A and B are shown apart, each in its own frame.
Chain A
Amino acid sequence: MSEFHQGEQDPDRFRRRILFAGAFVLTCFALLFGRFFYLQILQHEYYRTRAESNRISLVPVMPNRGNIVDRNGVILARNYSAFTLEITPSKTLGLEETIDRLGEIVEIQLKDRRRFKRLLEESKNFESIPIRTRLTDEEVARFAAQRYRFPGVEVKARLFRQYPENTLAAHAIGYISRINTKDKEMIEANGHDANYKGTEHIGKVGLEANYEFELHGTAGYEQVEVDAGGRAVRVLSQTAPIPGNNLTLTLDARLQSVAEQAFGGRRGALTAIDPSNGAVLALVSSPAFDPNLFVDGIRYDDWDELNNHPDKPLLNRAIYSTYPPGSTFKPLMALAALATGKRTPNQAIADPGYFNFGNRRFMDDKVGGHGMVDMHKSIVVSCNTYYYTLANDMGIDNIARFMSEIGLGRRTEIDIPGEATGILPSPEWKQKRFKKREQQKWYPGETISIGIGQGYNAYSTLHMAHALANIVNYGKVFRPHLVHSITNPTSGEVRIVEPQPIRQVPLKPEHVEVIKRAMAGVVREGTGARAFAGAAYESGGKTGTAQVFSLKGGQKYVAGQLRERLRDHSWYVAFAPVDKPKIVVAVMVENGGFGAQSAAPIARQVFDYYLIGKLPGGPAPEVDSGEENGDEGAATIEE
């Protein structure tokens, strides 16, 4: 117990303890200093970086998307700025409740809620999603005053895509819409992911899709200092975005408008090409849709309406829908015959009104036949028998080879996505197309109907216009294109999309002249005559009818007795002027009946406007051929 006894107050002991305490304090402080040295000197770089990444956040700044204008500068797609009210679901206290309360200060309709819900399903929780677009100034002010009540809700100024001409050339221009998972994969595959960090919309269809990376521009960045709550405190530095390039089209908006109106709401398609360079002058798919509907997320009922409409307005018929070309195929067959030496222009056949092959009989339209028929007459009167024999003489391989050269049954490489390959029938094609052995075999009889553009033949208006353009251009093949030039809005530098011939089909000019003259004959005295009566220019054309419904032998085709959807498709292909063609057009009117009746008048209006600037007086007049006994039969009876 003596240890506890302090005796006479041992001051030395106390002093020793004071010294001990002092030493202890110094040790502890040295330890602390060591810790500070470690953090502030040895690990300084690490913590400096952590502090920087804490406070600095890179915010992408969206570039302005490029505008799209027609060849005359008419604006077809542009941007406008508007305020949107956006919600970041993860930051709200309760999503439904937030929207309900927002509804008390700005108008939120049921359609807005529906669209929000759909966008919500497509996006991640921390993305901000618009509940209302195009707020009025008053609504912006009213929300700003009550902002504090709405965590996770913000007003943002955003650029919106606008298509001022609404439905005009909608299929060619396409539209932009919100980026989805598939688009993201595409962006990543192209190595553009960094550039698309702040981008919410992407071209989905048409030029907007094909020229996406031209139109998009380069994103800028803001280095923003953020606080612990993630709020931006100030901008430290800024790299300005580079706006996207503008597109100037080969398309003529007014011509396009004339052509679209000429359809008068009927289903169909039209492709007009400048044969000298492949420039697409008009690309019509009727009926059309309003691309503006897609921009800030299409409403469900609009989508439903467009998607389920029996006329399928979203379908780009001009490049995607293919139809048997019918008699419009005949001038191509005639040229093939000349090019392969199977016929001379003057070689004539006697047409008894039918062609016997084996034990099958292929009928001409005209009972009793056309008499002696040479090449010129075969086109003008659209003699089937001539082409039955010709197809039989040429054989399917020769036909397929020539038609492919001239541009059928393959992609034209037009600069919008979604074009069809079409069907150029051949034994090889049949083998690939069918699985069963017996279906794969090519029957010589099939070659015969190919000769008049029926059978498996199926081409789009783009194909037919392209092929005709290649012919009147003496075999020089240009890629059909919609974009004339790409302008950099910053530097003003203009890149012209030079029309380069992609191949030369060895056609003799004198052969081409035979075909052109014969097609001019069609307009002068054949099935095109009524539609082009009194035209101030000389054009060449060919009508055609694609069968939708095959009649049993002996039945007569009476359009009025068939339901509208079962009526034949109406074709017209043409070029003008004959001497030096400036425009080639292929028109297809679904269930339009005879080519002369529905399609040719549309081509007339397009030529009238393009060549002499004449606008149609009223709605497209239907030329009533008064005949119902078969397509090109009309030609003979007219005389």
Chain B
Amino acid sequence: MKLLRRIIQNLTAHLDMPLFLIVMALMTIGLATIYSATASDGFWKLDRQLVNIAASTAVMFAVARTPPQSLMRWAVPLYLLGLVLLIGVALFGIVVNGSRRWLSLGFVRIQPSEIMKIAMPLMLAWYFHKYESMLRAKHFAIASGILLLPIALILKQPDLGTSLLIGAAGFFVIFFAGLPWKVMIGLGAAAGAAMPFAWNMLHDYQRRRVLTLLDPSSDPLGAGYHIIQSTIAIGSGGGLGKGWLKGTQTHLEFIPEKHTDFIFAVFSEEWGLLGNGILLFLFTLLIGRGLMIAAAAPTLFSRLLASALTLVFFIYAFVNMGMVSGILPVVGVPLPFISYGGTALITLMLGIGILMSIHTHRMLVKK
């Protein structure tokens, strides 16, 4: 009995209950929606997702117990490993669907860009933390270099969605580290001026996605099909939705990628505006809690890491829902904690674990 209590105590010691409950609520919604989306092909995807949840929750517990100082030690090796692997992809990667994103290690295929999603904010937070007391323009320039090198490699794969997410994650660290508004505005203006050149560098299918966003009906059976069908699904859901398992767009296969990137259309069709409101509310709570943790964090490293990771969750959710509802271009971004998929879930729960670690170790640091 005593042993059991100790185990529970040990497990919950580094658990942030609000964060944990929010994530559990989101994953429950995810399971229900995956059930609906995959009902026609049996339940093996649901079973798999349960395994994914269990595994990623275990990862979360493990990371939550790890003090931020130890995490900091991982920053440089993880970043360098990610970079080496990305170079490996560029040289020996496997091409799937026209993109060179995967690296085969003989027994398993890995997608190194996934590592960067955590390694990047970790690395940058570590970097700013290291030069905390003497941050100058050159540190921001170096930080930009740290950020842009892997992004360039990922863009070449090509994988616009991931490079945007990693770019955002890195940018958030730099932003919270105190990049002056003037510089940001200047960079923004420069980026705007560079748009035409960037446009020329995009791949055809990427350009088409952007154009399709502006006018989905221009290509109703090709690139516009996904957006048209998911918008119909959302719109036909109405205020209260068609009810769980009753979404016709979903069950008659009109929605593509319905259990992964477009799962929001499934949810939205069946639960309506009410469901969407609840989902947005849960994400707001998640991000609010994350930002609170960041605000309360004792060190620059943990502040930057917590705030950047929190905004990464936001970017995931916003880009995904924006794309499915037709206000952002289609990029391959899953809806966090809802979409089916093990890799993404582990990355996300790793982030949650880091937030918990930062929060539950803050007193120890102060001591």
- Give chain A's interface residues, CB within 8 Å of chain B: 1, 3-6, 8-10, 13-15, 17-18, 21-22, 25-26, 28-29, 31-33, 35-37, 39-41, 43-44, 46-48, 50-52, 54-55, 225-229, 233
Contact = CB atoms under 8 A, between A and B. Distances in A.
Contacts of A52: 236, 248
Given A4-B135, A47-B232, A40 B254 contact: no
**Which 5 residue pairs of A and B lie closest in terms of their CB atoms, listed nearest first?**
A47-B235, A51-B236, A227-B252, A3-B180, A39-B235
A22 B291 contact: yes
B178 interface: yes
Given A36-B268, A40-B273, A6 B236 contact: no
B272 A40 contact: yes
Contacts of B280: 29, 32-33
Contacts of B300: 9
A223 to B, nearest CB: 13
Interface string B253-275: 11000000000000010001100
Interface string B18-51: 0000000000000000000000000000000000
B176 A14 contact: yes
B102 interface: no
Interface of B: 132-133, 135-137, 139-140, 172, 175-178, 180, 182-183, 229, 231-239, 248-249, 252-254, 268, 272-273, 276-277, 280, 283-284, 287-288, 291, 294-295, 300, 303, 307, 311, 314, 318, 321-322, 325-327
Contacts of A5: 135-136
B248 A36 contact: no
Contacts of B284: 25-26, 29
13 contacts: A18-B295, A21-B175, A29-B280, A29-B318, A33-B276, A33-B280, A35-B327, A41-B273, A44-B235, A47-B235, A48-B238, A50-B232, A54-B252
B287 A40 contact: no
Contact of A35 (B288, B294, B325): B325
A6 B135 contact: yes
A36 B276 contact: yes
A226 B253 CA distance: 10
Contacts of B321: 32
A47 B249 CA distance: 11
Given A6-B178, A14-B176, A33-B277, A39 B325 contact: yes
A28 B168 CA distance: 15
B248 A228 contact: no
Contact of B234 (A18, A47, A226, A228): A47
B122 to A, nearest CB: 18
Interface-centre pick from A4, A18, A40, A54 (highest chain B CB count, 10 A)? A40
Contacts of A227: 252-254
Contact of B175 (A17, A29, A36, A228): A17
Nearest to B181: A3
A15 B232 CA distance: 41
Contacts of B248: 51-52, 54-55, 225
Contacts of A233: 252
A13 B180 CA distance: 11
A44 B176 contact: no
Contacts of A44: 235-236, 238-239
Contacts of A48: 235-236, 238
Nearest to B307: A18
Interface-centre pick from B139, B140, B175, B178 (highest chain A CB count, 10 A)? B178
Contacts of A46: 235
B41 to A, nearest CB: 13
Nearest to A225: B252
A32 B140 CA distance: 33
B235 A4 contact: no
Given A6-B178, A33-B276, A47-B236, 13 more contacts: A4-B135, A14-B178, A14-B303, A21-B175, A22-B291, A26-B284, A32-B327, A40-B276, A41-B273, A43-B235, A51-B235, A51-B249, A228-B229
Contacts of B235: 39-40, 43-44, 46-48, 50-51
Contacts, number: 143
Nearest to B240: A40
A185 B164 CA distance: 59
B89 to A, nearest CB: 32
A226 B252 contact: yes
Nearest to B288: A22
B101 to A, nearest CB: 28
Contacts of B234: 36, 39-40, 47
Interface-centre pick from A13, A50, A52 (highest chain B CB count, 10 A)? A50
A54 B249 contact: yes
Interface-centre pick from B140, B180, B291 (highest chain A CB count, 10 A)? B291
A18 B314 CA distance: 13
Contacts of B172: 21
B56 to A, nearest CB: 24
Contacts of B318: 28-29, 32
Contacts of B325: 32, 35-36, 39
B84 to A, nearest CB: 31
A25 B314 contact: yes
A35 B249 CA distance: 19
B295 A15 contact: yes
A15 B294 CA distance: 9
Contacts of B314: 25, 28
A14 B295 CA distance: 8
Contacts of A47: 231-232, 234-236
Contact of B238 (A14, A33, A41, A229): A41
A25 B132 contact: no
Nearest to B280: A29
Contacts of A40: 234-235, 237-239, 268, 272-273, 276
A22 to B, nearest CB: 6
A26 B280 CA distance: 10
Contacts of B231: 39, 47
A18 B289 CA distance: 12
Nearest to A46: B235
A228 B236 contact: no
A21 B253 contact: no
Given A4-B137, A6-B135, A33-B276, A41 B254 contact: no
A51 B177 CA distance: 48
Given A1-B137, A40-B238, A44-B238, A228 B276 contact: no
A227 to B, nearest CB: 4
A41 B180 CA distance: 41
Nearest to B253: A228
A313 B161 CA distance: 75
Contacts of B295: 14-15, 18
A47 B230 CA distance: 10
B178 A10 contact: yes
Interface-centre pick from B172, B238, B277, B294 (highest chain A CB count, 10 A)? B238
Interface-centre pick from B236, B311, B322 (highest chain A CB count, 10 A)? B236
Nearest to B252: A227
A69 B45 CA distance: 62
B291 to A, nearest CB: 5
B321 to A, nearest CB: 5
A185 B268 CA distance: 47
Nearest to A37: B273
B35 to A, nearest CB: 19
A55 B183 CA distance: 53
B212 to A, nearest CB: 17
A40 B269 CA distance: 9
Contacts of A50: 232, 235-236
B259 to A, nearest CB: 15
Given A36-B234, A40-B238, A17 B252 contact: no
Contacts of B311: 21, 25
